[in-house]
Amino acid sequence: MSRQARWTLGVVIALVVTALFSCQAILRTATKIYPQRYAPQGDPNELKATFLGADQQRAHVAVKLTRIASGFEQPTTLAFVPGEPTTALVLQKTGALKWFDVATGDGGDVVTLPVTSASEQGLLGLAFHPRFVENRRFFLNFTLEKDGKDVSRVEEWTAGPPPFRTARVKAVRVVLEVEQPYANHNGGHLAFGPDGMLFIGFGDGGYKGDPHLAGQDLGTWLGKMLRVDVDHADATRGYAVPSDNPFVSTEKARPEIWALGLRNPWRYAFAPDGRLVIADVGQDLWEEVGFAARGENLGWNVREGRHCYQPNEGCKTTGFREPFFEYGHDEGQSVTGGVVVTGSRVPSLTGRYLFGDFVLGKLWAIELPALASTELVQPASLGKWPVLPVSFALDEQGDAYVVDFAGAVLRLDAP
């Protein structure tokens, strides 16, 4: 190749790279400046259920939603403080961590973090250490700007002696961080498994369609479920990699990965028998709920639910863990994962996985199938409500609550 030809090729490559980076910058800005606006459908002052579409043919579970706290600003997560049955914590998207008492209605501020909160960013997840009553450790997942880049951070905190509402809390260490290319699909949830390991769910990094192909790339944490040991951190990071993680010996794979092929795992939970249940938000057509066991691939962005996404016909169909429930965008727009109800306040919910649709305010309860099952199962409908169900929680009795992104916490009661 002549000197002139090499120079010309270099210029072309530079222009292409510049164009690609400029395009990404434009898309990154767009996800921040033009977020979707959501509002409950119906009158929030009249908490009544309606049954529409496929829910008219499904079995029904009669419940009442009781508003037990309100006035929050874009709440994202609810968690009950272990050892303090009436004390609940609420995370607000804008960075505030608040407490309230479910018995008295009293409440107050705990701490406010300097988060980024555009689009789907913010203060998103909290998990108490399994031995919190003894060690006072808890973990937060939030987004921030660092060196001009958007980052998701998982951080360890401690609380002083109980009660939590008056305890001094402080950040102890950064567990891990990952750069986020866009302001959406950041995941954000945290949960400890029955094995004592911390599970961290990250989305594919954002925009739409997984432009960086993160879902199937074992070289990135994006689009993955991670599993780390926060009790035995090594000298170079805020955690240790469990030796039985599935990809610890896979060349070029990130050893923290537990499962792959996720688009945006907006809430996941462990069933009483230890199975991990994930609700993965869909792209254009399908929302899904399914299991994720060790090393499993949930399919994104090759598959959306049980359907081809890329390519839209004739895609690979083997080697993926199929969801046990999916619904199209004629029924809802964005799935919110929930919890397996263990309490008896609503007996017909006991033992069922409770979840919903964020945009349309639909609530469902489903009997979890056998792990080896490949069949789709249908939920019972709790109806469509004038709320934006952004997350679910259980109190110490195992009774269920739903967080309304419009600003309230509601308990599910028998009618």
Are 138 and 1 members of one domain?
Answer: no
Spatial CA neighbour of 289 closest among 378, 197, 412, 410? 378
Are 11 and 77 members of one domain?
Answer: no
Are 216 and 318 members of one domain?
Answer: yes
Encoded amino acid at 174, one letter: V
Encoded amino acid at 204, one letter: D
Is the pLDDT at 103 greater than 60? The verdict is: yes
Q: For residues 252 and 217, is the Cβ–Cβ distance under 8 A? A: no
What CATH number is given to the structural domain containing 178? Answer: 2.120.10.30
Is the pLDDT at 17 greater than 50? The verdict is: no
Tokens matching residue 6: 């090499």
Is the pLDDT at 5 greater than 60? The verdict is: no
Are 153 and 139 members of one domain?
Answer: yes
Are 181 and 231 members of one domain?
Answer: yes
Q: Which domain holds residue 29?
A: 1-34
Q: Model pTM?
A: 0.93
Quote the mean pLDDT of the chain. 94
CA distance 139 to 175: 9
Instruction: Convert the pLDDT of each residue in 250-266 to its tens digit.
Output: 999 999 999 999 999 99
Domain count for the chain, please give it: 2
Spatial CA neighbour of 99 closest among 154, 162, 29? 162
Confidence of residue 18 (pLDDT cuts 50, 70, 90): low
Are 147 and 99 members of one domain?
Answer: yes
Are 8 and 43 members of one domain?
Answer: no
Are 13 and 104 members of one domain?
Answer: no
Chain position carrying tokens 């203060």: 123
Are 282 and 318 members of one domain?
Answer: yes
> What is the number of residues in the chain?
415
Is the pLDDT at 346 greater than 70? The verdict is: yes
Are 155 and 12 members of one domain?
Answer: no
Is the pLDDT at 207 greater than 50? The verdict is: yes
- Greatest Cα pair distance, the chain, in angstroms, is 82
Are 119 and 16 members of one domain?
Answer: no
Are 116 and 19 members of one domain?
Answer: no
Adjacency order of strands within the sheet including 123-128: 123-128, 137-146, 149-159, 169-179
